[in-house]
Homo-oligomer: A and B are copies of this chain.
Amino acid sequence: MAQPGRPRSEQARRTILAAAAKLVARNGYGELTMEGIATEAGVSKQTIYRWWSTKAEVVLEAVNEGAAEMAAVPDSGSLADDLRLFLRRTVDATTPVNRRLLASLMAAAQLDDQFAKSFRTGFLASRRRELRGMLARAQERGEIAASVDLDQLVEVVYALLWYRILVQHGPLDRRFGRQVADSVLRLSRAA
């Protein structure tokens, strides 16, 4: 059952992810190098390449590691309450460091088709699924007309969030979260 040989070092794995996160926070993803991660983590390059093939994958796993709390999608029975709470939690979780990590991942996806695919079908799609489930429950309750396209609503939410993350045209705070929630609620009622 158990394969022979020395087992993977869980500590090395964690040290590498921590080192990557730390370096991105300090110097930005643009300055991040595999060599730098290895040195910072006190690990050989080979140990990194054994388990990840690009630095984007390392960072993606580092982000996933520190994002278990995001999972909780509210379900109070009221669309307005759920949406506002969801967005408040989301903006709360997006600290400056996290913002930088997320922006880096989106950038990496533009430069590497391979990574783009895994980023879209993994990270992004799972986030979208959660939100869509919340809206679908509201539609079943009759809070949203059956004619409304839920995917468009989901798109508006994440478009606004990502635009803020990437362009930094304004703060990613609770006030912004409320504005997004209100816009989507209005769109969910119209037409």
- Contact residues of A with B, CB < 8 Å? 28-30, 103-104, 106-113, 120, 124, 152, 155-156, 158-160, 162-163, 166-169, 179, 182-183, 186-187, 190-191
Contact = CB atoms under 8 A, between A and B. Distances in A.
B186 A190 contact: yes
A120 B163 CA distance: 12
A50 B104 CA distance: 29
Dominant secondary structure at the A interface = helix
Contacts of A160: 155-156, 159
A91 B132 CA distance: 26
Contacts of A158: 163
A110 B190 CA distance: 36
A126 to B, nearest CB: 14
Nearest to A30: B111
Contacts of A28: 111, 113
21 contacts: A103-B110, A104-B110, A104-B111, A107-B110, A110-B166, A120-B168, A124-B167, A124-B169, A155-B160, A155-B169, A156-B156, A159-B159, A159-B160, A159-B162, A162-B162, A162-B167, A166-B166, A182-B191, A186-B190, A186-B191, A187-B187
Contacts of A187: 183, 186-187
Nearest to A119: B167
A159 B158 CA distance: 9
Nearest to A5: B44
A183 B152 contact: yes
A151 to B, nearest CB: 9
A23 B6 CA distance: 28
B112 A30 contact: yes
Specify which of A109, A120, A155 lies most central, judged by the most chain B CB atoms within 10 Å of its CB.
A155
A106 B30 contact: no
A181 to B, nearest CB: 13
